Structure 1
Amino acid sequence: GDPIDVLICNTRPLVPGCVINVRPIGVMIMEDDGGKDEKILAVPAPKLTQRYDKVHNYTDLPEITLKQIEHFFEHYKDLEPGKWVKMGGWQDVDVAKKLIVEAIERYKTQD
């Protein structure tokens, strides 16, 4: 599987796989047919935009934004036979940072 998935809240489109400076604000806990599959939620760094200056935790985002993200991930595998997704709720920025550190450590120990 992939080391870690990061969703970036942004008002401008980004090319998939691009690299930008972000800061984590939380994590959506999720499990799918392949096992645990958490999604780190991040916002662009202040040098890129000031839009998210007051967003420090996922709870600072509008509730509808979180519900839209959940809805997407609850249904994005609906048309793939044998695949499923189970949502586990949201965790705060400290949990997100811990998962990022764990992913970095896993990467360092890969063959």
Structure 2
Amino acid sequence: MEFDVVIEIPAGSRNKYVMDHRLGRIRLERMLFTATSYPADYGYIPDTLAADGEPLDAMVLLDTPAFPGVEVTARPVAAYRHQDEQGLDVKILCVPAGDHRYAGVRDLADVPAERLNEIGHFFDVYKDTEPGRHAEPGSWCDRRAAEEIIAADRRRHAESLADAGK
């Protein structure tokens, strides 16, 4: 399975950028209140609709950070599921498709444990000092589960368009 991920936030950033889907522009939403930075390039998978009403979140492991608005063709290797103030929050972990350096990274077990711990820790604590926001520790699931989540969120997106009469 391959798809595009639109990058909103480059790895290493403390700025939280979000796509304004109505205007088609990327906005600075806030600076993270914690002394942490995004551990991977972060964005979303177009034409999906997650349970929170937004496109499905995705991270891409790149050797050099991308720029906001860049589309990266990627493939999923895992998903991180946790709870935040809005309920279930899922992040799909991806690698760039066609990049031979990631050819051996096909599933959760292929990602170094240290990298998974770093990413999980970030999402567990990055809201800790923000008033009214919180995140509960989560857990990782494998590529198959990630692909099932993507497929379900693509169906939800298609159904929302049909319901809207588009």
- State TM-score, norm by structure 1: 0.91
Q: Which runs of 4+ in 1 moved over 2 A?
A: none
Corresponding position of 1:35: 87
Separation of aligned partners in 1, 2:123 and 2:138 = 11
User: Larger % of helix: which?
Assistant: 1
2:164 is the alignment partner of 1:96? no
Match of 1:70 among 92, 97, 120: 120
How far has the Cα of 1:16 moved from its partner? 2.9
**Paired residues of 1:30 and 1:89 also in contact (CA < 8 A):** yes
Which ranges of structure 1 fall in alignment gaps of 5 or more residues? none
Which ranges of structure 2 fall in alignment gaps of 5 or more residues? 1-52
Q: Which has the higher contact order (CA 8 A, sep 6+)?
A: 1
Letter in 1 for 2:107: N
How far has the Cα of 1:31 moved from its partner? 1.0
Aligned pair count reads 109
Separation of aligned partners in 2, 1:86 and 1:64 = 20
Letter in 2 for 1:63: A
User: Larger % of strand: which?
Assistant: 2
Corresponding position of 2:97: 45
Map Cα deviations across residues 31-90 of structure 1 (whole Å, 9 max, x no partner): 1000111100000002xx211100111211111100110111111111211211112311
Letter in 1 for 2:78: G
**Paired residues of 1:3 and 1:106 also in contact (CA < 8 A):** no
**Paired residues of 2:120 and 2:138 also in contact (CA < 8 A):** no
Query: Larger radius of gyration, structure 1 or 2?
Result: 2
Separation of aligned partners in 1, 2:73 and 2:92 = 14
Rate the CA distance shift 1:22–1:71 in 2: closer, same or farther, 3 A. same
